[in-house]
């Protein structure tokens, strides 16, 4: 059962025995208005959700409009914030080119740092090479490190750049742009 069908089943269950049912779209949301037993209702579905984000009952059509406008303001604010985030991440992702060094820090009981050199970029496809690091020790099991592009590890591999200006290396690692500053590492085990 697809999303549209599931959503319609939900709408049908809410609007059973309702009158004056209207459906309209606002940005990425769908708003359903209807009347039952002298009450004025509306449902809001955001994105592709099949369950309503909002289900509100009012005693007059004017109050319903006030509530809908209030919800629309919230939807607009979130939409603009998300759009702004994506645009800022796009600007960052545009700076990832051949020669850019990326890093990922990951681990459960220790902090592992991996560095990657971008060998090639075509649209969102990147060819990466894992590179080494130069470590300084604060203690025998922790310290800082910086990227060392002279040391190559393994073979080059391909990954895709996400819309959030990051690269999913594997299930545990997400790489982002390295700013050249020393990063903290630890290996307690």
Rounded CA separation 163/161 (Å): 7
Selection from 160, 37, 183 nearest residue 104 by Cα: 183
3-class DSSP assignment, residue 62: helix
Burial of 67 (0-12, 13-18, 19+ CB in 10 A): middle
- pLDDT tens per residue across all 189 residues of the chain: 787 789 999 999 999 999 999 999 999 999 999 999 999 999 999 988 999 999 999 999 999 999 999 999 999 999 999 888 888 888 888 889 999 999 999 988 899 999 999 999 999 999 999 999 999 999 989 999 999 999 999 999 999 999 888 999 999 999 999 999 999 999 876
Q: Cβ distance 175 to 167 under 8 Å?
A: yes
């Amino acid at each position: 059962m697809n999303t549209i069908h599931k959503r319609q089943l939900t709408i049908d269950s809410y609007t059973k025995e309702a009158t004056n049912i209207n459906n309209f779209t606002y940005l990425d949301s769908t708003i359903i208005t209807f009347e039952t037993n002298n009450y004025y209702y509306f449902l809001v579905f955001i994105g592709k959700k099949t369950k309503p984000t909002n289900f509100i009952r009012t005693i007059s059509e004017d109050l319903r409009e006030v509530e809908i406008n209030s919800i629309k303001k919230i939807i607009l604010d979130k939409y603009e914030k998300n759009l702004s985030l994506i645009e800022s991440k796009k600007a960052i992702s545009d700076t990832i080119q051949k020669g850019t060094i990326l890093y990922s820090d990951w681990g459960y009981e220790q902090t592992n740092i991996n560095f990657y050199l971008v060998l090639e970029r075509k649209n969102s496809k990147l060819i990466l090479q894992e590179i080494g690091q130069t470590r300084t020790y604060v203690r025998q099991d922790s310290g800082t490190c910086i990227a060392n592009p002279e040391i190559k590890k393994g073979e080059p591999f391909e990954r895709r750049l996400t819309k959030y200006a990051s690269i999913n290396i594997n299930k545990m690692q997400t790489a982002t742009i390295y700013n050249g500053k020393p990063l903290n590492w630890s290996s307690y085990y």
